[in-house]
Structure 1
Amino acid sequence: MEPLDRAFLANVLDLMLDAVCVVDTEGRFVFVSAAGERIFGYPPEEMIGRPVIGFVHPDDRERTLVAVAEIVAYQHKPIFENRYVRKDGRVVHIMWSARWSPLDGVRVAVARDVTARKRAEAMQAALYAISEAAHAAEDLLALFAQIHRIIDGLLPAKNFFVALYDAAGDWLSFPYFVDQDRAPLEPGTLDAETLCTELIRGGKERLVSHDAVDPAQPVRTPVDWLGVPLGVAHGVIGALLVKSHSPEVRYGQADVELLKFVSAQIADAIERKQGQLRLQHVAQHDALTDLPNRNLVRDRVAMALARARRDGTGLALMYLDLDDFKPVNDRFGHAVGDGLLQQVAQRLKHCVRASDTVGRMAGDEFVVLLAQLHAPEDAALVAEKIRAALCEPFDVAGNAVLVSPSIGLVGYPKDGEEADPLIDRADEAMYRAKRAGGNRVCVAGDTDEARA
């Protein structure tokens, strides 16, 4: 049998679906078979003579150099995977089998494109991670942050935001917005000219080329936009968008299909988390005033006490009751009484900081928790502010209603170090104020019957 000539061998190599590459001692390509163009996007003549490491994804270059050193040292490395950047900017995953030939001073390697397999594995892992995030995240913001990390593992998503749509109010909000080039978008009604509106109303994914700019959302530099609607059984609840500010990061049809594939799972996760939070809110809040109920108040007090012990700060707790609330119900009816309680809740919230807690314990009894107090006398000032605010007339359904509060005031650490005893002492101080005639603040431990 005659020996095979080089032309024949070259033709055979060019017929292979995997690319055969030969690299010299300086790390430059000296031969690339025809399959290299399909895998890397470059014709072989554009690769020959150029350093291999220049084609490798920047994040994989260091470990690739380590692998090269091992190949030279041990002569054979059956399996090694890394990422290359194609001529068109897309990233491909390559599985290599390589060997070093000391006699010829070259590395011979076979490259197989495993991008499809890696993408399928990543998508399955992403679906599992999204499902886990829906259960583990404390709130929607934490869920969105988790989703951002998951998406960023699938495609370039440095700039990522979530839009949520309330169909009943025709209202679009942006609860999660990360963009290196602009401030978060303001919520508002759907605008027919924006990309978000097109996604939500049209219900179809969109890929906007980097040389086109959304006229309703101008930016200083060309960008790529990729957006998909978040659809559930009853309609579209929002949209996911990723954006690139760099011409080096481009989105293609594969990225569209990937984001579209995971969007259904993300939409379900968001809706499931919203449902969980609604149920949790109902279980922990008063139905009439939407204030924290007795159970949530006790939890908040316990948490505030733990924080105060840790930080060496104080806190104050007020238990208050409306004087002569029953005559309001008797004279005007329960609907006016309910309206009065709702307005009382709002006034109480306006008297304290956003970080403080106002809760409804039962009937016309409320609790105010002032956390992280640095000056104990501040609590008495807030208590007097509340007393004065509740003595102002209320207008409930056209009826002028006058009430006043009886307030019991306690503090940590002077009056107790556990939640339930502290609440009970505040309740006792409130009854002392009521017995003294109402419309006053009674401080636990005072020798006087009450402070008017």
Structure 2
Amino acid sequence: MNRSPASAVSAPDDVRLAYLAEQAGCGYWELDAQLQLRHFCGRDAPALKLSPADWAPHRALLLRQQAFRDLDLCRGGANGGACWVRLCGEPVFDEHGAFAGYRGIALDITAQRQRDEDMRGFRAAIDATADGIHVVDCETMRFIDVNETGCRVLGYSREEFLALQIPDMAPNVDMDALRRQYQALDTDASTEQWAEIWLKHRDGQRIPIEIRRRGAVIAGRRIAVNVVRDITRNKHTEAIIRRHAQQQSLIAAFGQSALANVGVEVLMERAAAAVSEGLEVDFCRLHLLDPGGQQLLLTAGTGWAPGWVGSIDRELAPPSHNRHVLDAVAPVVVEDFGGDLRFVPCALVRAHGIHSGVDVPITGVGGTYGILGAYTRGQRRLTPDVASYLQSLANTLATAMDRRRTEERLTLLAQFDALTGLPNRTLFLDRFEQTLTVGQRSAWCLGVLFVDLDHFKAVNDTLGHAAGDRLLVQVAHRLKACVRAGDTVGRLSGDEFAIVLAPLGRREDAALVAQKVVEALAQPFVLESEVARISASVGIALFPGDGSDAAALLYKADAAMYQAKEAGRNLFRIFGEAR
């Protein structure tokens, strides 16, 4: 607006008007018909900072002779700062109805604008906080304000949130108890309340929330300020830590079982239980590979339909699931068996509608023993931690199986002859004693043959010890071929063997077997490119006539064998019988 000289008014009226404007904190103004300022009463007339673009729409309104209200404009302040005025005006017409100009008031709203700007800044800061803020009226228990984070945590707009009631987001809350808690709040910080609760998201999901509640009084109104924080991530982290601790405890317990030398079947069951409990999966399998590597036996597992545990799986050729796992050097993780093109899922997986799973080969020093796997019906992201846990159990299991195999081999070496595989002297005598116990109880007739090879030293001297060893292996086979399956053949020392015949139908049967042995060992032995010939001297002792314990009977059979040697070798003698 361009200023023109003010019209004359009487001094008293001007003074009174100026006084009223000063007391009201505003100014009175008038424009003439050409929209020029003809009168201003009050504080300094505003020098408005209006660009042509800002002035054009307001000038168009004035030209239409329309009243206006709350036109906020910036003007230059006394110190060069920005000051704001709010103009209200209405058109004035003379007694003939002709447009005579405008009149109105100008209100200084600089302080109000500053307060509004400060409030917007404060609101922006509150909305930017990481925590949600819910303001609740302690009397009505209704929400009266909420910040942006508080809305976002639960998925509502601000308008939607403020229309809610507390039970809408906390369906299980006891409103009477909650109202008492709100009534107990005071402006004193010592009355702050803290709790962990579950609130319902807009989509129906339950969210863990940490809430801190304080009381305040605003304009005589008691309110509760709830600072809420989504602790989903914290809960997830705590769950991971608890699960990890549980898994470590299960691994330790399983390791103790493995060291305790429990039976293999019990150990397998405990491994399956540790997988099921530690990973909370629907299925677990423990397949053991047979010694020939031709099939897998489902030794233990959880979740499978009746009849599957104990079944045999022969799907071991590529591109089978089992072969892929057995040949793997790392855990095999499958997010979706239906879409995995690396292999054909095994029958167990196909039959149970399994979606996701992880398998690890059970591999030890002695080779690959089988497969340990965990599976779920629904889709589940199997993290590296899952595979690591499964691998730890498989490693412990493999170590136990390695040790068990070593113990079995040591037992075998302690009781059996390493060269021929026959029972050694200790095991032979133990079995002989057990047979005698049964024989005494059952009134059996038993026989023991002491077999000594003739001219065996000559084979070692002429053909070498390796040839001698090959000959001894063949001797063992021929001796076993001369007796029944229930009879015992053992190697007592270098070229000395013994046979327990039990029971004997008649005493003469022992002589028949001895003759059969003499004839079998008299046949040539083919030792690669060489042929060796030996013979055997055999002594016989009979139970119960020649004694009642193994040592005595074996001693007398040995004495009879020496009689056979003195008689020319390649024949047998019965203890106590002269020829």
**Number of matched residues?**
340
Equivalent in 272, 276, 293 of residue 172 of structure 1: 293
User: Where do 1:260-409 residues align within 5 Å?
Assistant: 260-308=391-439, 315-353=446-484, 356-370=487-501, 373=503, 375-376=505-506, 379-409=510-540
Instruction: Name the CA shift for 1:419/1:125 in 2 (closer, same or farther; >3 Å).
Output: same
User: Residue 432 of structure 1: which of 555, 563, 578 is its match?
Assistant: 563
Greater relative contact order, per chain length (Cα 8 Å cut-off, separation 6+) = 1
Residue deviations 1:337-380 (CA, integer Å, cap 9, x gap): 33222211222233345554432222211122345x37356655
Q: Does 1:222 align with 2:342?
A: no
Equivalent of 1:163, from 255, 264, 289? 289
Q: Residue 408 of structure 1 aligns to a residue in which SS? A: strand
Between the aligned partners of 2:337 and 2:389, the Cα distance in structure 1 is 19
Aligned to 2:326: 200
Distance (whole Å) between structure 1 residues aligned to residue 378 and residue 578 of structure 2: 74
Residues in 1 aligned to 2:424 and 2:515: alpha-carbon distance in whole angstroms: 24
Task: Determine whether 1:129 maps to 2:249.
Answer: no
Whether the 8 Å CA contact 1:200–1:229 is kept in 2: the answer is: yes
Which of the residues 131, 146, 150 maps onto 2:266?
146
Q: CA distance change for structure 1 residues 431 and 13 in 2, over 3 Å: closer, same or farther?
A: farther
Structure 1 residue 128 displacement after superposition: 1.2
Alpha-carbon deviation of 1:402?
2.3
Using a 3 Å threshold, how does the CA distance of structure 1 residues 119 and 327 change in structure 2: closer, same or farther? closer
Q: 1:279 corresponds to which letter in structure 2? A: L
Q: CA deviation at 1:424?
A: 1.5
Contact 1:199 1:227 in 2 (8 A): yes
Instruction: Specify the code of the residue in structure 2 equivalent to 1:128.
Output: Q
Cα deviation, 1:215-235, whole Å, max 9, x if unaligned, reads 596579614586421244x69
Residues 194, 385 of structure 1: alpha-carbon distance in 2 compared, 3 angstrom cutoff: farther
- What SS is found at the alignment partner of 1:198? helix
Q: Give the letter for the 1:375 counterpart.
A: G
SS in 2 for 1:275: helix
> Percent same amino acid at aligned positions?
28
Q: How far did residue 120 of structure 1 move?
A: 5.3
Superimposed CA distance per residue, residues 233-274 of structure 1 (whole angstroms, 9 cap, x where no aligned partner): x69533334699xx9899994975553221111111122222
Gaps of 5+ in 1: 16-33, 45-113, 137-141, 166-170
**Matched position secondary structure for 2:289:** strand
* Residues 414-433 of structure 1: pairs in structure 2 closer than 5 A: 414-433=545-564
Distance in 2, matches of 1:383 and 1:250, equals 71
Any idea what SS the aligned residue of 2:568 has?
A: coil
* Counterparts of 1:281 and 1:269, CA distance in 2: 18
Query: Hey, what's the Cα distance between the residues in 2 that align with 1:411 and 1:216?
Result: 63
Q: Is the 8 A contact 1:174 1:185 kept in 2?
A: yes
Q: When the two structures are superposed, what TM-score results if normalisation uses the length of structure 1? A: 0.58
CA contact (8 A) 1:196 1:239 kept: no
- Alignment check: 8 A CA contact 1:340 1:396 kept: yes
Give secondary structure in 2 for the equivalent of 1:259.
Answer: helix
What is the CA–CA distance in structure 2 between the aligned matches of 1:383 and 1:410, rounded to whole Å?
A: 11
| Corresponding residue SS for 1:368 | strand
Say whether the 8 Å CA contact 2:561–2:573 is kept in structure 1: yes
Partner Cα separation in structure 2 for residue 409 and residue 212 of structure 1 = 73
Deviations 1:12-54 (A, max 9, x none): 5769xxxxxxxxxxxxxxxxxx9799xxxx999xxxxxxxxxx
1:45-64 correspondence runs (5 A):
none
TM (normalized to structure 2)?
A: 0.47
